[in-house]
């Protein structure tokens, strides 16, 4: 293979780690192209990984029928792993998508799932006709990982280019464990694309967005599943970013024997150029970000995408891009929070 890119990562009920990513067969370029979605599984917290599986392949002509930019989500109510991705039939990725709903006119929001911890997967299927505004040019998931809310609602970050080809970050969700999905949700801020989402409090979602104005992440919250958005006070000032994808994770960790919800954030923490892969932590659900709670993971130049997941109450896992390759590291929480 030429390049592996766009990682997503989750932990299942069996404590397996499941990673998904682009298999870019012929070059490191984005869709359209000969791209499939691959999966790797670890049953020992990332020490070793089983042989790669291809879980999304849209068939011939492979060079012009790619699928990529995956996001992964684990639903504990069904013990089901979901993977979302963008299918480009011909030149129907971001630049080549037109208005409409069919694969011949626009990129497709496709899903697959596994009910046996990643051993087998259903054939990918499109939900675009049910979730996309036909006036928009393209609508698909935000790469990385989705979440399950306290009430069981499944949520993926998403993105769309509207009727004027202006991009917005947004969300898509399901209240019935993936049987039906709700989309067509207007995003909070223009010129944003790849985003990730957490639930800060029951019913409150925080959307952390790649902002193409550059230099910082934009952040918004909603209390009504995207019907209304409020720009967060940290938006476009707290988290440096060189226009790249990033990951955010809320997870209970053990601090001096006490469980506390911590929000972790991973990205190339610069205002320009992709280097210095970093994990940051917020002890107050994203209200503030202390420079003290920050860990430089890898200072080298890289493609810059990353995804976080929980390992246990004392450690998190990070998968991130180098140059054409992916890396995994297990990180003790105390190394980010500087706990003595």
pLDDT of 1 reads: 86
For 190, which DSSP code? B
pLDDT of 257 reads: 83
From CA 49, how far away is CA 125, in angstroms rounded?
Answer: 27
- What parts of the chain have a pLDDT lower than 50? none
In the chain, domain spans: 3-337
For 179, which DSSP code? S
For the segment 245-255, what is each residue's pLDDT rounded down to a tens digit? 999 999 999 88
pLDDT of 256 reads: 79
Q: Which CATH class is domain 3-337?
A: mainly beta
Annotated catalytic residue: which of 26, 163, 194, 314?
Answer: 194
From CA 250, how far away is CA 171, in angstroms rounded?
Answer: 17
pTM of the model: 0.97
State residue 135 phi and psi, 5-degree precision: -75, -20
152 sits in which H/E element: none
Q: Is 299 a catalytic residue?
A: no
pLDDT of 210 reads: 98
From CA 158, how far away is CA 193, in angstroms rounded?
Answer: 8
pLDDT of 339 reads: 66
Which of these, 109, 82, 111, lies nearest to 93 by C-alpha position? 109
Which of these, 1, 160, 141, 24, lies nearest to 73 by C-alpha position? 141
Exposure b/e, 11-38, CB count within 10 A at least 16 = b: bbeeebbbbbbbbbeeeeebbbbbbbbb
Region class of 332: left (phi > 0), else alpha (psi between -120 and 50), else beta: beta
């Amino acid at each position: 293979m030429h390049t592996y890119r766009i990682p997503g990562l989750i932990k299942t009920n069996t404590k397996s780690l499941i990673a998904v990513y682009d298999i870019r067969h012929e070059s490191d370029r984005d869709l359209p192209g000969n791209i499939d979605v691959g999966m790797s599984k670890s049953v020992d917290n990332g020490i070793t990984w089983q042989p790669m599986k291809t879980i999304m392949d849209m068939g011939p002509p492979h060079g012009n029928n790619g699928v990529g930019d995956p996001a992964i989500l684990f639903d504990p109510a069904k013990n089901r792993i979901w993977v979302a991705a963008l299918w480009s039939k011909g030149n129907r990725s971001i630049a080549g998508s037109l208005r409409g709903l069919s694969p011949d006119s626009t990129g497709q929001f496709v899903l697959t799932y596994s009910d046996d911890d990643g051993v087998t997967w259903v054939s990918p299927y499109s939900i675009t006709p049910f979730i996309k505004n036909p006036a928009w040019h393209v609508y698909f998931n935000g790469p990385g990982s989705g979440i399950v809310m306290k009430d069981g609602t499944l949520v993926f970050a998403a993105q769309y280019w509207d009727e004027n080809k202006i991009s917005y970050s947004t969300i898509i969700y399901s209240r019935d464990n993936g049987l039906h999905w709700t989309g067509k949700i207007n995003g909070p801020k223009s010129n944003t694309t790849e985003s990730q989402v957490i639930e800060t409090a029951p019913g409150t979602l925080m959307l952390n967005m790649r902002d193409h104005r550059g230099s910082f992440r934009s952040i918004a919250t909603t209390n009504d599943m995207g019907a209304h958005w409020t720009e967060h006070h940290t938006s476009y000032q707290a988290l440096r970013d060189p226009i790249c994808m990033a990951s955010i994770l809320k997870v209970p960790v053990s601090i001096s024997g006490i469980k506390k919800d911590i929000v972790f954030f991973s990205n190339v923490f610069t205002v320009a150029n992709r280097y210095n892969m970093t994990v940051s932590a917020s002890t107050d659900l994203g209200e503030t970000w202390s420079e003290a709670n920050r860990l430089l993971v890898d200072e080298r130049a890289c493609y810059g995408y990353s995804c976080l997941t929980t390992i246990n109450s004392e450690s998190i896992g990070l998968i991130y891009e180098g140059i054409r390759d992916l890396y995994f590291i297990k990180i003790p929480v105390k190394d980010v929070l500087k706990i003595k």
